[in-house]
Chain A
């Protein structure tokens, strides 16, 4: 039996298309550019001692962009024959969803505030820090962020500040987070599009403990942000796509911002400053966990250890303006822009910094739902 001609023709084309897609995937598994090591070069490399029994491959669930080899170059040099591939997420919620959905990833990357869920859901395994050669370079504040109930589940890696970035030509010195609510800057303010971020700012301003908010306090926070809407130009979601260009061209005068945008604008010579609010800056930390189902936990641990090594960490700082959990790397920075952005000339800065706290699933849901209602209003 013959198909009608158009159907036959298009069926053939379609099959060719899908075969191509499948081939691209297959060849991608073997050699997707820089993300895999060529196996031929591996003959002379030392075999990973403890991991000899494990499959010599790692799947990392990463945020797009972090797969760049600069971020894990030390591991690559030590294990040129290991097959490292990446899968991608673009929000903490997305990463968690993929892990819950049964991702095969050995290693996953997420940010402070989400630790508890991975432990509660049994998605992560405990880490033996005695096997990490670079662990002693990680400041205690950061080490503790990876602990739940006294057990180390996560390895801190990238970190940064959140504070008020402002235009010094349009705005007097900013000393408090309440600059985001200042009517003088109406139409030139930009808040991050994030519920927990909004709750943190309000808690700082009101002096509340964000992990112990009452219903009344949360209702107050919701109303405050609804009232702030006429002042806010836009809620940003991409640091370098929405926020930074608008800060640099003078549209935005006061913004909730990370240090990366500050460093970028500063390096470009724009009139900007990064506040040290009296309530303290916020700091967020990126954490890596090893999946409970990983077939290569020893190799995964080795990967995380090497991520903390000097070159990989320094690349995060110098190339991408992110802080790194290796304290030696941070203290050896000499670029004035980076010293300024990370407050490295202020030894007490971390004491007055509010690290993003652990929150329960219930709190996160309440906060994110609150934020969606603010937006809809």
Chain B
């Protein structure tokens, strides 16, 4: 019995969800098909079939490095942003203190500033303090733009958890931190995953800020936009993008599977 909610109404919710899924995956399917064509411009019908683009991807060290760079930056940025988001959410919802609203505003404010403006601002900051630009500076920048998303998502879930749960745990002798760990974290796990994934995705495809901060090692979007300055590079890039997505899907399914087994 999954529908404890409002019972079976006539609203075709599943159809709506599947429709959304189709719209999201349709362009990717087009790219997927195109990546097996011999043509270099994105058009149909395909003039011939080939696996060359995938072979070229595996040959292209710079491209694989760029993808790895993006992965590393995404993980660092998403983890930092999620950590900060959690701390802010717990502080704001579980404690009464002066500046509560201010803290929340601070965590939400990065949403308001367009990425390109943040890029210039970070560029000025890192030049001023003489911190050489690198993947670390990109990760710092991306961690900041992820904070609002992480905070809002965690906040929305945590506001629904009854603080009495923690109080009860503490009545049973737990310290507050261990109450958080034993009671709150397990309940929050799926939300933390969503928050982390959102921040990761925001970072993974971000170019406006990255172009100002990358230094010598390009992230994948910086590499991709650069390569697209030339004709003929499109199919290789698409093949790489397809591989990256398949990798993400596989990792996600494995992660969910492992979690499912734990349950």
Contacts and interface: CB of A to CB of B under 8 A. Distances in A.
- The B interface, classified by DSSP as helix, strand, loop or mixed, is helix
B230 A24 contact: no
Contact of A94 (B124, B212, B229): B212
B155 interface: no
A171 interface: no
A65 interface: yes
Interface string A63-91: 11111100000000000000001111110
Contacts of A20: 72, 75-76
Interface string B221-250: 011011111111110000000000000000
Interface stretch (B16-24, B107-115, B174-182): B174-182
A90 B225 contact: yes
Contacts of A16: 79
A87 B215 contact: yes
A41 interface: no
Given A17-B76, A25-B217, A94-B212, A249 B43 contact: yes
A377 B233 CA distance: 36
A5 B185 contact: yes
B31 interface: no
Interface in A90-147: 90, 94, 97-98, 101-102, 104
Contact of B42 (A24, A102, A245, A321): A245
A322 to B, nearest CB: 8
B229 A32 contact: no
Contacts, number: 171
B225 to A, nearest CB: 6
B41 interface: yes
Interface residues of B, number: 62
Interface in A15-55: 16-18, 20-22, 24-25, 28-29, 32-35
A319 interface: yes
Interface in A299-349: 319-321
Contacts of B65: 28, 32-33
Interface of A: 2-7, 10-11, 13-14, 16-18, 20-22, 24-25, 28-29, 32-35, 59, 63-68, 85-90, 94, 97-98, 101-102, 104, 238-241, 244-245, 248-249, 260-261, 263-264, 268, 319-321
Given A4-B177, A21-B139, A240-B234, 4 more contacts: A6-B184, A260-B231, A268-B39, A268-B43
19 contacts: A5-B185, A6-B180, A13-B79, A14-B80, A17-B77, A17-B80, A20-B72, A21-B136, A24-B72, A32-B62, A32-B217, A33-B60, A33-B61, A63-B226, A64-B211, A64-B222, A65-B229, A97-B123, A245-B41
Interface of B: 39-43, 60-65, 68-69, 72-73, 75-77, 79-80, 82-83, 86-87, 90, 120, 123-124, 127, 132-136, 138-139, 176-178, 180-181, 184-185, 211-212, 214-218, 222-223, 225-234
